[in-house]
């Protein structure tokens, strides 16, 4: 999705774009919204993640340093999305393997000449909804003698819903990005994909975390 961002719209909203290497984002109304994109994990990092997650299975493409961050500067509240926490959710969920015709081929993806028992969720489906922390400013940290990062956010149920009318309004888009967290082609029989998108407007920001699984059909003429 290509988005043209006008300087006049940024100035009118009091927003400031920034970019530095694989980091880019916007500062607006006391929020720092930043996306970070890098290459996939190398073999050494894959082994480290497998050890930490206690598994020998990871998606083919894990973008371990990719992340999307939304930070409220005055409170230190930080909402962020990353592949490791998403895979922790997959591991804890421990769903049984999906039984589809293509599964017979997927069983031999890693060891094609051996009979492999498919005993894990090879689609890497996750209940992950994001990660939340509170980051204390270093000056305040020294004064309060608290750690820099804590998990003290308390979520409460509410009856408020997304304002679809406001979301559909013709506000200018000040920042947009899509960050891929992990992807697997399911041995060329489909795709498993976890991405997070963000769209920032003058009055609000909208975020969409999507896990997508599709099965490709092969037709013979």
Amino acid 143: pLDDT = 46
For residues 32 and 22, give the distance between their C-alpha atoms in angstroms, rounded to a whole number.
16
Nearest to 213 by CA among 196, 181, 190, 179: 190
Q: Reduce the DSSP state of residue 35 to 3 states and report it.
A: strand
- Model's pTM, two decimal places? 0.83
Residue 88 has pLDDT above 90, yes or no: yes
Confidence of residue 4 (pLDDT cuts 50, 70, 90): confident
Nearest to 209 by CA among 91, 29, 27, 82: 82
* Range from 23-32, 133-142, 187-196, 202-211 carrying the lowest mean pLDDT: 133-142
Q: Best-predicted range by mean pLDDT among 94-103, 118-127, 134-143, 205-214?
A: 205-214
pLDDT in tens, 49-73: 999 999 999 999 999 999 999 999 9
Task: Decide if 83 contacts 220 (C-beta within 8 A).
Answer: no
Which DSSP state fits 215? Answer: E
For residues 154 and 36, give the distance between their C-alpha atoms in angstroms, rounded to a whole number.
26
Token pair of 161, please?
């819903």
């Amino acid at each position: 999705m290509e988005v043209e961002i006008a300087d006049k719209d940024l100035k009118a909203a009091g927003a400031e774009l920034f970019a530095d290497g694989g980091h880019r984002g916007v500062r607006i109304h006391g929020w720092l919204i930043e996306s970070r994109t890098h290459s996939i994990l190398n073999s050494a990092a894959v082994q480290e993640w497998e050890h930490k997650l206690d598994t020998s299975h990871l998606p083919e493409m894990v973008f371990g340093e990719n992340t999307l961050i939304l930070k409220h500067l005055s409170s230190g509240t930080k909402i962020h999305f990353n592949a490791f926490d998403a895979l922790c959710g997959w591991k804890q969920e421990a769903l049984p393997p999906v039984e589809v015709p293509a599964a017979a081929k997927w069983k031999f993806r890693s060891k094609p000449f051996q009979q492999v028992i498919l005993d894990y969720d090879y689609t890497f489906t996750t209940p992950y909804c994001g990660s939340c922390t509170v980051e204390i400013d270093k000056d305040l940290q020294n004064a309060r003698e608290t750690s820099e990062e804590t998990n003290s956010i308390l979520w409460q149920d509410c009856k408020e819903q997304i304002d679809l009318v406001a979301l559909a309004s013709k506000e200018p888009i000040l920042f947009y990005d899509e960050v891929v967290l992990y992807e697997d082609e399911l041995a060329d029989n489909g795709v498993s994909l976890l991405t997070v998108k963000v769209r920032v407007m003058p009055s609000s920001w909208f975020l969409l975390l999507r896990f997508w699984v599709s099965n490709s059909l092969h037709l013979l003429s």
